[in-house]
């Protein structure tokens, strides 16, 4: 299934932001399929207006939001891949900054159409949740838009959107398996005390990580994915891991793979993901 938490973090008062922590396992009803699945992405929104050449060549807005999904990997990933060329090719006759809620409404309509098609084919395996999160330049606020299946008055499942605004300390949204249990654990952890190496501002990360490492939760596993969304956009993080617990030597990992040699260099450049312990 998946375990994802998105939460408000103001440990840097000058740049409060939204953090996300996710596992990386994809499984079916019988077994684990892969343990290195990407479930957290940067969704670009780019708008252009006419340039001096008369074409829509002048970029007037470029921002990235966080996008994640739980449930159906096929629907979650395919919808994201379809949204990229659409939202990165917006045009307007004048310089324009699309409000985040307009982007969210577009995603709701597109995801709704895709879900309606897919649920006929996949029936009970079509369940999916999606979240769009980040900073809105139009309102100067953080938002989390949570898309989830819900029955309408006729008993038919459709995609609904719950908007989380006015976020503050202890505000979080959970997507995925064992919802009641993990939601309660995150809330209880937020109500606890700061512990060295385990600050409350990052507590959902540790709750997710503990469940990745606990073999009892068979649909949650793989490795930890982290990211941050703020006024500068969404940025994924690599994980800085010790080679031997308790020893200083460490390495950078992404989706469980060490960023070294064959998957570190791109020509004369290197992968520059910020690492987090």
Domain with residue 142: its CATH number is 3.60.20.10
Nearest to 143 by CA among 169, 163, 172: 163
**What total number of domains does the chain contain?**
1
User: Is 268 domain-assigned?
Assistant: no
Full residue range of the structural domain in which residue 175 is found: 3-237
Report if residue 107 sits inside a domain. Answer: yes
Give me the tens of pLDDT residue by residue for the chain, a chain 277 residues long.
789 999 999 999 889 999 999 999 988 777 888 999 999 999 999 999 998 888 898 999 999 999 999 988 888 899 999 999 999 999 999 999 999 999 999 999 999 888 876 555 444 554 788 999 999 999 999 999 999 888 777 777 788 899 999 898 889 999 998 999 999 999 999 998 888 888 899 999 999 999 999 988 888 999 999 999 999 999 999 988 888 877 888 889 998 888 887 888 888 898 888 888 8
Edge-to-edge strand list for the sheet holding 58-71? 90-91, 40-49, 58-71, 128-136, 141-151, 157-164
Query: Which own/partner pairs from 156-159 qualify as long-range (CB within 8 Å, at least 24 positions apart)?
Result: 157/115, 157/119, 158/112, 158/115, 158/116, 159/108, 159/111, 159/112, 159/115
Q: Is residue 79 part of a domain?
A: yes
Tell me whether residue 99 is in a domain: yes
The answer to the question of residue 274 being in a domain is no
| Contact call for residues 148 and 101 (beta carbons, < 8 A) | no
Is residue 47 situated within a structural domain? yes
- Distance of alpha carbon 32 from alpha carbon 220, whole angstroms: 9
φ/ψ of 262, rounded to 5, equals -65, -20
Does residue 255 sit within a domain? Answer: no
pTM for this predicted structure: 0.90
Q: What is the pLDDT of residue 121?
A: 47
Residue 261, in any domain of the structure = no
pLDDT, residue 202, reads 94
pLDDT in the model for residue 206: 94
């Amino acid at each position: 299934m998946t375990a994802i938490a998105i939460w408000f973090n103001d440990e840097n008062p000058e740049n409060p932001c939204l953090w996300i922590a996710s596992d990386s396992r994809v499984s079916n009803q019988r077994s684990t399929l892969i343990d290195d699945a990407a479930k957290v992405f940067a969704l670009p929104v780019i708008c252009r207006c006419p340039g001096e050449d008369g074409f829509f060549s002048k970029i007037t807005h470029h921002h990235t939001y966080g996008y994640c999904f739980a449930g159906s990997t096929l629907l979650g990933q395919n919808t994201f891949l379809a949204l990229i060329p659409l939202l990165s090719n917006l045009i307007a006759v004048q310089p324009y900054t699309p409000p985040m809620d307009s982007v969210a409404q577009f995603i709701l309509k597109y995801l709704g159409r895709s879900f309606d098609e897919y649920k006929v084919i996949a029936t009970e395996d079509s369940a999916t949740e999606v979240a769009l999160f980040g900073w809105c330049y139009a309102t100067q606020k953080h938002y989390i838009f949570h898309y989830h299946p819900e029955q309408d008055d006729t008993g038919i499942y459709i995609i609904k959107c719950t908007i989380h605004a006015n976020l503050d300390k202890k505000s979080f949204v959970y997507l995925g398996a064992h919802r009641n249990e993990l939601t309660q654990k995150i809330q209880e952890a937020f109500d606890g005390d700061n512990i060295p190496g385990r600050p409350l501002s990052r507590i959902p990360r540790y709750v997710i990580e503990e469940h990745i490492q606990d073999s009892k939760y068979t649909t949650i596993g793989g490795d930890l994915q982290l990211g941050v969304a703020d006024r500068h956009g969404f940025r994924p993080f690599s994980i800085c891991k010790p080679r031997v617990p308790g020893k200083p030597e460490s390495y950078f990992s992404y989706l469980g793979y060490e960023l070294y040699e064959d998957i570190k260099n791109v020509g004369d450049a290197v992968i520059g993901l910020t690492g987090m312990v």
